[in-house]
Structure 1
Amino acid sequence: MDDVPDVELRQLRYFAAVAEAGTVTEAARRLRIAQPSLSQQIRRLEQRIGTPLFRRTPQGMEPTEAGSLLLNGVNRALDELRSSIAAARDVRPTATVGVCHGVPRSVLTRAEEAMTRRRALLLDYRQVDSQSQGDMLRAGTLAFGILRTPVDPSGLVLHLVDDAPLGVVLHRRHPLADCPELTWSDLSGQRLLWFPAERAPGYAAGVLARLREHGWIPETVIEEHSGHTLYRHRLIGHDDLIALRTRDGSTDDPDLAWRPVGPNPPRERLALAAAAHTPWAEQLTDIPA
């Protein structure tokens, strides 16, 4: 406003410190600044307000009537400012988190602990393909991402939150369901219920390459929809169709079974990601392994 002089907050703090200390020397010591600099700032404040704020006495600095009026207002304002700053610090910022399809609940819990270990956050989850998350993180559309690796790591900070072998998911009346553990030769002739590779191309290519190394080159049945109902519907009633999931990633559906397969099954590695050099990335530093 036009009737408010151009006064700096620093000058008001200095003024209140001198009034409390009683001398410029003691106030300068408390503020850890040079005494001449403090005296200069007090003179500038008096010039901007247009009236003396202190009487200089042999005993020290005594506020004038104008100084006492100003001091009351400054103390109220500083108290209100401190309270507002404390309230602002207590507000939990919202972080938008991209989550790829099929993240197990246990992995989501570990990711949440990592994202909030340094500061409390409100987490707003969005389902986003692993392939899309990198660009969205770099653009600032997402604060964090939970994605399947490998991905392009440029400009990102990545923290591994899960590294688990894939096993076979099939319906409980499937001829292979009675086997406690499967081999690659057991899967001969089986089709693979798979996802669109563009969602996580690095992961998809790596898994299919490992299957070829083991001599299994299955026909893939692409499931465009990620919901459990359609996934379950596909598997139940087909004796030549299986899916690959981690144990934690398989569901507790009583009509489906998870079986380990080997040797050397492909692995699913899930990472928590943030754009480098952002406050979000700082949340992921020094996380215990």
Structure 2
Amino acid sequence: MNDLSGIEFRHLRYFAAVAEAGTVTEAARRLHITQPSLSQQIRALERRVAAPLFHRGPVGMSLTAAGQALLDGANRALGELHAAMTSARGAALPARIGVCHGLSQEVLAAAEGLVTRDRPLHLGYHAVDSHDQADRLRIGRLDFGILRGPVDETGLTTRVLADQPLGAVVGRAHPLADRTSVTWAELDGQRLLWFPESAASGYASTVLAQLAVHGWTPRTTPGDHDHSSHTLFRHALLGDDTVIALRPAAAVADDPALTWLPLSSDPPRERLLLAAPTATIWSRLLA
């Protein structure tokens, strides 16, 4: 606690305001205090932290590495304090939940059921790639995340929402559409409708590595980044009979124009996780 002596809530609020505004002048205007007073408070905070928090330039201020670390921690602390105060009043907590692309309604309902099991929440959904979700959870910019594993789980508490085998998805006119299952050999020469690997790098590399083990190193065809747009997904498959996708069966169960074919042996799997920052009010809701 000695590290926190002399640091008050207003210091963190002032610091965050300057970081957001980019200048002391603008931050002081927003805070309704004088510029000299705000400058004094920021310098006092830097002395207490024993590190410069801002690069001061002729047209503005930007965070140093130390400043960014403090801002991330302050955001987490302020978010947790706000949640605790709301919880103490017995009111429904607002909660930000990240959602990766291509989720089914069943998965969303399962996640909502888990996080609201013990108390009501006002959930706000945000479309965020799996990789970015993990980072935003750790710095307090999301309260929950629904993401594809594997991800770096450092600082996160996770629950498995779904763990399903992937199968080949093709249009009804595709040469493989009349099969009851498909072998790895039959996939040779097929192009794979894929997504930018940066969206879920752990999942992408795991699946592609397993395909290579089975002798299939497909040429990938970029798909719609936002695969929640099922219309664009099906359009890509119906417009080319040399392209397949890999999805769980539930992803296309209600689309009569598409066929889902199980892989005959050792299919890759899609593992969806519900995550929250460890040691927070949010992770306790996942316990």
**Residues 69-91 of structure 1: CA deviation (Å, up to 9, x unaligned):** xxxxxxxxxxxxxxxx9997442
1:223 is displaced (CA, Å) by: 1.4
Given candidates 243, 246, 261, the residue that maps to 2:263 is 261
Distance 2:124 2:251 in 1: 22
Aligned to 1:240: 242
Aligned to 2:94: 94
Question: 2:134 is paired with a residue of what secondary structure?
Answer: helix
> CA separation in 1, counterparts of 2:240 and 2:219?
14
Matches within 5 A, 1:166-185: 166-185=166-185
Q: Give the TM-score normalised by structure 2.
A: 0.67
Q: Residue 186 and residue 87 in structure 1: after superposition, are their counterparts in 2 closer, same or farther (change >3 A)? A: closer
Instruction: Evaluate the alpha carbon distance shift between residue 202 and residue 86 of structure 1 in structure 2; reply closer, same or farther with a 3 A threshold.
Output: closer
Q: Distance in 2 between matches of 1:153 and 1:244?
A: 25
Correspondence list, 1:93-242, <5 A: 93-226=93-226, 227-242=229-244
Instruction: Kindly provide the CA deviation profile for residues 56-103 of structure 1, in whole angstroms up to 9, marking residues without a partner as x.
Output: xxxxxxxxxxxxxxxxxxxxxxxxxxxxx9997442111110000011
Distance 2:148 2:224 in 1: 17
Task: Give the letter aligned to residue 244 of structure 2.
Answer: I
Task: Tell me how many residue pairs correspond in the alignment.
Answer: 201
The one-letter amino acid of 1:176's match is L
Q: Specify the alignment match of 2:280 in structure 1.
A: 278
Q: CA deviation at 1:250?
A: 2.4
Cα distance in 1 between the residues matched to 2:266 and 2:87? 54
* Cα displacement (A) at 1:237: 2.9
Deviates more, 1:216-225 or 1:240-249: 216-225
Structure of higher CA gyration radius: 1
1:30-71 Cα distance to aligned partner (Å, 9 max, x none): xxxxxxxxxxxxxxxxxxxxxxxxxxxxxxxxxxxxxxxxxx
% same residue: 51
What is aligned with 2:8? none
Q: 1:209 to 1:86 in 2, by over 3 A?
A: closer
3-state DSSP of counterpart to 1:248:
helix
Of stretches 204-213 and 216-225 in structure 1, the one that deviates more from structure 2 is 216-225
Per-residue Cα deviation, 1:238-289 (whole angstroms, up to 9, x for no partner) = 111000000122252221111111300000000000000110000000xxxx
Amino acid at match of 2:197: A
Q: Give the 3-state SS of the residue equivalent to 2:251 in structure 1.
A: coil
Shift of the 92–183 alpha-carbon distance from structure 1 to 2, 3 Å rule, reads same
Change (3 A) 1:178 1:100: same
Q: Describe the shift of the 1:154–1:195 C-alpha distance in structure 2 as closer, same or farther (beyond 3 A).
A: same
Q: What is the RMSD computed on CA atoms of the aligned residues?
A: 1.8
Q: Is the 8 A contact 2:86 2:92 kept in 1?
A: no
SS in 2 for 1:218: coil
**C-alpha contact (below 8 Å) 2:196/2:225 kept by paired residues:** no
Pairwise CA distance, 1:224? 3.9
1:231 is displaced (CA, Å) by: 1.3
